Amino acid sequence: MSDLNDVLEPGSAWLLTSATAINENGDIVGTAIVDGQAHGFLLTTQIAPPPPGDNQPPLAVADADVTSGYAPLTVTFSGSGSSDPDGDTLSYRWDFGDGSAPDPSADPVHTYDTAGSYVAVLTVTDPAGQSASAQVDIRVRRPRKGR
């Protein structure tokens, strides 16, 4: 393996002949032709962490155990897959879209009593005030006759 800085003369050219990503960091190994000679190379990527004090927004992930059914429909929601890249603790706010009070739980249980289409929205907020939202569509049908 050659260091391209040692191989390339100022003003020279090189031709990439193959390259393959070799890990999750994006480091690349490959071969190149430099002034008519083949050379192997390794390109490493360095992803700098954000500077201290730069807060990154959280990621909201909303899910539900059921998304359709007959009224009354009880749904267990999950926001536990939400995360914060800074590792901060998140606060949760679920708006179920039916006029009921919001719920501050990560994984609330909610019952829809009336038929209709609803959009449940999860908003997660980090201590610096950055927030993100995700939604789950819920469809509630009229109860079956005889129930």
pLDDT tens digits, 50-81: 566 788 999 999 999 999 999 999 999 999 99
Q: Which two tokens stand for residue 38?
A: 């083949």
Ranges for all domains in the chain classified under CATH 2.60.40.10 = 63-141
pLDDT beyond 80 at 28: no
Q: Which two tokens stand for residue 83?
A: 């995360």
Claim: this prediction has a pTM higher than 0.75:
no
Can you tell me the mean pLDDT for 127-144? 95
Q: Which two tokens stand for residue 103?
A: 């719920």
Neighbours of 125 (CB within 10 A): 19
CA 57 to CA 35: how far, in whole Å? 47
Indicate the CATH number for domain 63-141: 2.60.40.10
